[in-house]
Amino acid sequence: MSGVPRFRICADSGLPGAALEAWRRDGLLVIEGFVPPSDCDALCQSADQLVDAFDPSEVATVFSTHSHEHAASEYFETSGDKVRFFFEENVLDDRGLLTCPKALSINKMGHAMHDLVPAFQQFSYHPRLVTLAAFLGLDNALVLQSMLIFKQPGIGGEVTWHQDGTFLLTEPQSVTGFWFALEDADLDNGCLWVLPGEHHKGLRQRFRRIGGTLRLEDLGAVEPFDLRRKIPLEVPQGTLVVLHGRLPHYSEVNRSARSRHAYTLHTISASATYLADNWLQRGPAMPLRYLSSGEPV
Ligand code: FE2
């Protein structure tokens, strides 16, 4: 159904040269069977344990002392070096209390599991990813952020069309997204949709700090996304989708009775300048680490 080529890594010869051509042409690369099912299941289990241990009243406390908008913003802005939980829309009341069961209410977890949780660290700095980054020619990749997207059955919300470079920008552009299907993803449970090749059109928006506040701004005369070309990526568990920082992508709500867990990592080049007005800023206590060695910058 999809016009996007799919690849598998061959034990002897790695990825074929056509994969590199597809990456450069399309701004995305689909690799099926990249992660063994057991590794996907283990990461889901670790995520479930973190959710179990999470006390939602921590969030309620934050929300009870500020306006809802301010509290939500601050909770997000300071999550770059933490493990935090973000809820689906409309599951928190005015006091920050949950209106439905915790395990089904969480939209995502972020943004530093890869540096704080052993199971996530093992998954994120795995040699298979190091080899792939080298194949793609990613220069001195640093692991910037991690997210576990839960997309729970019946409640998992839409993620609107966006480019990851809107939220994380370097000069020159070096942001690369790694989207791992921890479970089968299809049209019913909210798979990814992509616009192959549209990364060449440039960045349309930036979400950045302006005068102490995070805002989304349009960047002017960049062509709109051509949504007539959208392609769904129905993929089995263990598939990796690599996304160029300017590749538009989207996912629908989960209308099925099945969850659609996905894990994402974003890397940047240590040789590029990470912009000071990006929302995610780490303090000196937790420097970014190289994907290849796990050593801090
Ligand atoms: Fe994204």
Inform me whether the pLDDT recorded for 69 exceeds 60.
Answer: yes
How many A from CA of 177 to the centre of ligand 1? Answer: 7
Query: Taking each helix axis from N to C terminus, what angle separates 68-77 and 57-64, rounded to the nearest 10 degrees?
Result: 120
Dump pLDDT digits (tens) for 199-241: 999 999 999 999 888 999 999 767 789 999 999 999 999 999 9
Asked if the model's pLDDT at residue 283 lies above 50, the reply is yes
**Which is it for strands 28-31 and 83-87: parallel, antiparallel or unpaired?**
unpaired
Residues in the chain: 297
What does the mean pLDDT of the chain come to? Answer: 92
Separation of CA 293 and ligand 1 centre (Å): 25
Q: Is residue 1 part of a domain?
A: no
Residue 292 has pLDDT above 80, yes or no: yes
What is the predicted pLDDT for the residue at 60?
66
- Residue with the bigger pLDDT between 242 and 213: it is 242
CB-based neighbours (< 5 A) of ligand 1, an ion: 164
Whether pLDDT at 28 is above 90: yes
Domain residue limits at 281:
6-290
Question: How much distance in Å is there from the Cα of 13 to the middle of ligand 1?
Answer: 30
Between CA 162 and CA 165 the distance in angstroms is 9
For residue 169, how far is the Cα from the chain centroid?
A: 14
Q: Does residue 148 lie within any of the structural domains?
A: yes
Q: Which residue type sits at 67?
A: S
Pick the residue with more confidence: 30 or 98? 30
User: What interhelical angle do 17-26 and 127-136 show, nearest 10?
Assistant: 70
The b-or-e profile of 221-243 (16+ CB within 10 A means b, else e) is eeeebeeeebebbbbebbbbbbb
Ligand 1 centre to CA of 68 (Å) is 25
Asked whether the predicted pLDDT for residue 21 surpasses 90, the reply is yes
Number of folded domains that form the chain: 1
**Between residues 232 and 100, which one has the greater pLDDT?**
232
Whole-prediction pTM value?
Answer: 0.94
For range 162-185, the mean pLDDT: 97
Structure confidence at residue 295 as a pLDDT band (50, 70, 90):
very high
Q: How far is the CA of 12 from the centre of ligand 1 (A)?
A: 32
Q: Is 18 exposed, middle or buried (0-12, 13-18, 19+ CB in 10 A)?
A: exposed
295 is a domain residue = no
CA atoms of 143 and 233, how far apart (whole Å): 25
Dihedrals phi, psi of 114, to nearest 5 degrees: -65, -20
Write the single-letter amino acid at 169.
L
Alpha-carbon 214 to chain mean position:
19
DSSP 7-37: E--BTTTBS-HHHHHHHHHHSEEEETT-S-H
Q: Residue 296: inside a domain, yes or no?
A: no
Tell me: pLDDT of 76 over 80.
yes
Q: Is the pLDDT of residue 96 over 90?
A: no
CA distance 124 to 126: 6
Mean of the pLDDT values across residues 30-34?
Answer: 98
Closest CA to 248 of 274, 227, 262, 234: 227
Looking at residue 1, its pLDDT comes to 45
* 50 within some domain: yes
Asked whether residue 143 is domain-assigned, the answer is yes
How remote is the CA of residue 107 from the centroid of ligand 1, in Å? 14
With respect to residue 276, please indicate whether it lies within any of the assigned structural domains: yes
Instruction: Please give the pLDDT value at position 62.
Output: 60
Residue 263: CATH number of its domain: 2.60.120.620
What is the band of 58 on the pLDDT scale with cuts at 50, 70, 90? confident
The whole-number pLDDT of residue 289 equals: 98
Q: What is the pLDDT of residue 61?
A: 61
What residues does 141 pair with on adjacent strands?
269
Q: Is a pLDDT exceeding 60 seen at residue 2?
A: no
| pLDDT at site 66 | 55
The answer to whether position 270 is within a domain reads: yes
Who has greater pLDDT, 71 or 232? 232
What is the mean pLDDT of the segment spanning 46-59? 90
**CA 251 / ligand 1 centre spacing (Å):** 9
Q: Residue 144 is encoded by which pair of tokens?
A: 């910037």
